[in-house]
Amino acid sequence: MGPLQGVRVLEFAALGPAPLAAMLLADLGAQVLSIERPAQPAADAAPLFDPALDVLRRNRRVLRLDLRQPDGLRVARTLARHAEVLIEGFRPGVMERLGLGPEPCLRDNPRLVYGRMTGWGQHGPLAQRAGHDINYLGLSGMLHPIGRAGGDPVVPLNLVADGGAGGMMLAFGVLAALTHARATGAGQVVDAAMSEGCALLGSMIHTLRAMGRWSDRRGDNLLDGSAYFYTTYACADARHVAVGAIEPAFHQRLLLGLGLDPAEFADPMDRSLWPQRRQRLARVFALRSRDAWCEAFAGVDACVTPVLDLAEAPRHPHHRARGSFVELGGVSQAAPAPRFAATPAAAPRPPGDADSALLAEWGWTAASG
């Protein structure tokens, strides 16, 4: 099931965005075989993640290998010969030291797409430095604009660098290289750096800045929450609504829905008026609960929506109607996306161990050593 059915992906399991890229490919039908380290004793296991609850491991078959041992390395090399895509998310040089770098793998399998996920890229002054999502986002310039005027930059979870700039950018690059490999027979290395992906995701902000419509001052711009018509408001029950009424028609409907006179809100792009007007709207929104306001704006195209928490989101009628969330192993999670009319993705499955029949398809049997 899915448009990537028949694509073989060998994943060297790691933390961070590389597993997201592999999950995206697996969701859409690719056969992902994930090589994980042998199970550690409970006392030595990393406390941060429980593999049984890790959403990113879904739709995989798992093979546990000790790559520091000759037998484990031999199996991994055999599997890489039969893969179309290889994904790894370690620091530069780790795979080379294991004997699984691009040179031997592409020599054995010239059609291989070798996808590499790092924070800083495979070369450069910072290539060997440690980092996390927040560091890559900060260096890209895209963390600085996020936050209130006079306040500190606000961390947008790990959605930007790990998610959009990391896992999704790697998946995009891998599929582009796979298209080339299938057309020409020539594989290649895909060097995906989260710091570069963050900068690329900020292309629209760079466009607005070049046009003179974006200030380098935090909390002074159209899309950073400072505009009274593009921000969040606290309601009487301390929950919030999100308002995105940028266009004139939405702006007018927003004000009418709040019982305000649009004539008093002329020149909405005059930034000097934003703080005062935001305070005025805040006083109105604080008079009713979040759900009361959502009911008042139901059926009105004013771009007013509730800010749902993680437990509420799957229960929203729109998500329920589309099946946007699924439950797997007792864990609520997003369903595969996007949707495909002719080749829909199958429902997510928990990871399973690779059996001898599957490994034989990948060119390895017990007899092969």
Q: What is the pLDDT of residue 42?
A: 54
Respond yes or no: is residue 162 known to be catalytic: yes
d(CA 20, CA 167): 5
Q: What is the pLDDT of residue 52?
A: 84
Q: For the chain, list residues with pLDDT below 70.
A: 40-49, 367-369
Q: How far does the chain reach from its first CA to its final CA, in angstroms?
A: 32
* Given the residues 162, 191, 240, 251, the one annotated as active site: 162
Q: What is the pLDDT of residue 40?
A: 66
Q: What is the pLDDT of residue 74?
A: 95
**Coil, strand, or helix at residue 330?**
coil
- CA separation, residue 157 to residues 64, 133, 148 (Å): 31, 9, 16
Q: What is the pLDDT of residue 118?
A: 97
Q: What is the pLDDT of residue 216?
A: 94
List of domains in the chain: 8-201+336-368 (3.40.50.10540), 230-315 (3.30.1540.10)
Q: What is the pLDDT of residue 264?
A: 97
* Given the residues 132, 237, 353, 355, the one annotated as active site: 132
- Tens-digit pLDDT profile for residues 323-346: 999 999 999 999 999 999 999 998
d(CA 251, CA 273): 15
Q: Counting Cβ atoms within 10 Å, is residue 269 exposed (0-12), middle (13-18) or buried (19+)?
A: exposed
Q: What is the pLDDT of residue 229?
A: 98
d(CA 207, CA 140): 15
Closest CA to 21 of 78, 79, 85: 85
